[in-house]
Amino acid sequence: MGIAERKERDKEELRERILIAAKALFLEKGVEKTSIRNIADLIEYSPGSIYHYFKDKNEIFHALHQGGFQQLMSRMEVLAPVQNPMERLKKMGAIYVEFALQNPDMYDLMFIKEAPMAHVSSSNDEEWKEGFGTFNFLRATIKECIQVGHFQNHDEEALSFLVWSTVHGMVSLHIRRRCEVVLAQRQSTIVKDGLNEFFSILDRLSQ
Amino acid sequence: MGIAERKERDKEELRERILIAAKALFLEKGVEKTSIRNIADLIEYSPGSIYHYFKDKNEIFHALHQGGFQQLMSRMEVLAPVQNPMERLKKMGAIYVEFALQNPDMYDLMFIKEAPMAHVSSSNDEEWKEGFGTFNFLRATIKECIQVGHFQNHDEEALSFLVWSTVHGMVSLHIRRRCEVVLAQRQSTIVKDGLNEFFSILDRLSQ
DNA sequence: CCTACTAATTAAACAGTGTTCAATTATATT
DNA sequence: AATATAATTGAACACTGTTTAATTAGTAGG
């Protein structure tokens, strides 16, 4: 009975090879400019065979961005010992921005690009909904902040979304090159500066 | 000498017809799915002739989004009589979000899509830099707020960027369908709710 | 060992894309 | 009317994602 299992492993291995090739190409050229034929060339298979492992191109990149969520989530683990929720909230923001700036293409895929699964019955995409533990983590932290007395009269859900939007807005404007409107001498540091402004606003709100 | 001028007008007119066709198709199908051949079909010219009026596809959509900036800017005109800068700031945010939600495809083109001019010497794109008067308007309003005593110890430039990022973040997460992570029953109103949270934070900061 | 059967792989084709270019048509100037 | 200039075209190029029929490889049963 070991044969079927070995075949299973082989199949899984090739699937992984496709993903690795796709990731390498996408980090180098972006999603749009990475073609099925490019990937096929790299792993020395024919273009058609890729369709035995993935339904279409979207599925490849959807599989890829899952890895991104795990990366981001694992970065958040250092926050576990931080007791003060306000402190934790700020550090979360810093980690989020740092991840985005260090992995702009992956961030782009995860949060900016048109969702690969938009056309599918979006309820199908349970991984995104449930799997996006980072937002749940953010919500839980905000909840704690409220319980401790900060953000009085604020709504947990809406405030969580607002905080997420703030950091997402900064990094996505940066990644998509919309920061040219800020003063030239500030452009290189504007995301960091903006984040610090955000922190000092949080500080002012929490006293 | 009227002939040369008439030809000039004719040329300008066809250029305009291309833009109108492109806009119609793009609002209906999006940029990626609007092809040069589609546009050519609509105006009943050959695909090749379009290249006598625009360098490439990017230039068409770059020309289109200029119109979007004018639209957005003209919406801001109602703010001129608002004396209180804090009041004006909030209304600016509301107008910005409203514009984005009412014209998601145009907003996408203007602020989310990969900048069409990224590869060109970006200094070439003076329209974007100078022409984006909305950010200058925001900066001026923030400056007034600071002068009046709000946002003490804050940096004008960074704070302007932060405020822009906040509204941009909310609408772009919404437009690019990343709001599925928020509670299902809140999804339809989350941008509005987030904006209100933002307003109440501004209120708390300005006293 | 040979035959079946299944699964993996392929080349070729389809319909589309942005873009270029030589040839053609239309227009205006002399 | 002939010439120069500009606009327009169809065809071609090199791509794209995807499908499919045919081929090859690998396994299971007799």
* Per-residue pLDDT tens over the stretch A173-183: 999 999 999 99
Does A167 contact B at CB distance below 8 Å? yes
pLDDT at A108 over 90: yes
The pLDDT assigned to B194 comes to: 98
Record the tokens describing residue B201, joined without a space. 């934070």
In a domain, B59, yes or no: no
The pLDDT assigned to A173 comes to: 98
pLDDT at B64 over 70: yes
pLDDT at A99 over 50: yes
Domain boundary among A34, A54, A74: A54
CA atoms within 13 A on the CB side of B55: 7
pLDDT at B143 over 90: yes
pLDDT at B120 over 90: no
In a domain, A170, yes or no: yes
Say if residue A128 is in the same domain as residue A45.
no
CA of B79, C1' of D10: distance in angstroms: 53
Record the tokens describing residue A111, joined without a space. 């949060």
CA distances from B200 to A8, B9, B30, B120 (A): 56, 52, 36, 42
The pLDDT assigned to B130 comes to: 62
Say if residue B41 is in the same domain as residue B72.
no
Cα–Cα distance measured from residue A190 to residue A177, given in angstroms and rounded to the nearest whole number = 12
> How many CB atoms lie under 10 A from the CB of residue A106?
21
Residue B40 is part of which domain span?
Answer: 1-54
In a domain, A60, yes or no: no
CA distance B160 to chain A (A): 8
CA distance B83 to chain A (A): 24
CB B43 within 8 A of CB B53: no
The pLDDT assigned to A123 comes to: 47
Say if residue B47 is in the same domain as residue B75.
no
Cα–Cα distance measured from residue A100 to residue A175, given in angstroms and rounded to the nearest whole number = 8
Number of domains in chain A: 2
Q: Give the SS3 label for residue B63.
A: helix
Say if residue B34 is in the same domain as residue B91.
no
Say if residue A23 is in the same domain as residue A112.
no
- The alpha carbon dihedral of B82, B87, B93, B98 has a sign of negative
Nearest CA in chain A to B196: A158
* Per-residue pLDDT tens over the stretch A23-81: 999 999 999 999 999 999 999 999 999 999 999 999 999 999 989 999 999 999 999 99
CA distances from A123 to A64, B173, B180 (A): 19, 18, 9
In a domain, B150, yes or no: yes
CA of B3, C1' of C30: distance in angstroms: 16
- The alpha carbon dihedral of B78, B79, B84, B88 has a sign of positive
Cα–Cα distance measured from residue B45 to residue A115, given in angstroms and rounded to the nearest whole number = 34
Say if residue B190 is in the same domain as residue B107.
yes
Q: Among candidates B19, B104, B94, which has minimal Cα distance to B62?
A: B19
| Position A4 confidence tier, pLDDT thresholds 50, 70, 90 | low
- Do B181 and A112 lie within an 8 Å CB cutoff? no
What is the rounded (10 degree) CA torsion for B144, A94, A109, B174?
Answer: -50
Say if residue B32 is in the same domain as residue B124.
no
| Position A1 confidence tier, pLDDT thresholds 50, 70, 90 | very low
Cα–Cα distance measured from residue B29 to residue A120, given in angstroms and rounded to the nearest whole number = 17
In a domain, B109, yes or no: yes
Arithmetic mean of pLDDT over chain B: 91
pLDDT at B72 over 60: yes
| Position B21 confidence tier, pLDDT thresholds 50, 70, 90 | very high
CA of A10, C1' of D29: distance in angstroms: 24
In a domain, B81, yes or no: yes
List bases in chain C with any atom under 7 Å of a protein Cβ. Answer: 7-13, 16-22, 27-29
Q: Give the SS3 label for residue B120.
A: coil
The pLDDT assigned to A119 comes to: 42
The pLDDT assigned to A49 comes to: 98
> What integer is the mean pLDDT of B175-199?
96
Does B38 contact strand C, using a CB cutoff of 7 Å?
yes
Backbone angles phi, psi at A30, to 5 degrees: 90, 165
Select from A122, A165, A180 the Cβ nearest to the Cβ of B122: A180
CB B86 within 8 A of CB B31: no
Roughly what angle, to the nearest 10 degrees, separates helices A190-205 and B156-175? 90
Select from B112, B181, B205 the Cβ nearest to the Cβ of A201: B205
Q: How wide is the angle at C-alpha A188 spanned by C-alphas A184 and A191, nearest 5°?
A: 110
Cα–Cα distance measured from residue B168 to residue B107, given in angstroms and rounded to the nearest whole number = 10
Cα–Cα distance measured from residue B72 to residue A40, given in angstroms and rounded to the nearest whole number = 45
Say if residue B19 is in the same domain as residue B76.
no
Cα–Cα distance measured from residue B136 to residue B155, given in angstroms and rounded to the nearest whole number = 15
* Per-residue pLDDT tens over the stretch A117-175: 554 444 456 666 665 889 999 999 999 999 999 999 999 999 999 999 999 999 999 99
CA of B120, C1' of C1: distance in angstroms: 68
Read off the CATH number of the domain in which A39 is found: 1.10.10.60
Does B47 contact strand C, using a CB cutoff of 7 Å?
yes
In a domain, A21, yes or no: yes
DSSP H/E element including B133: helix B133-148
Q: Name, in order, each residue with C-beta under 8 angstroms of A183's C-beta and a sequence gap of 6 or more.
A: B157
The pLDDT assigned to A40 comes to: 98
Read off the CATH number of the domain in which B164 is found: 1.10.357.10
In a domain, A188, yes or no: yes
Does B203 contact A at CB distance below 8 Å? no
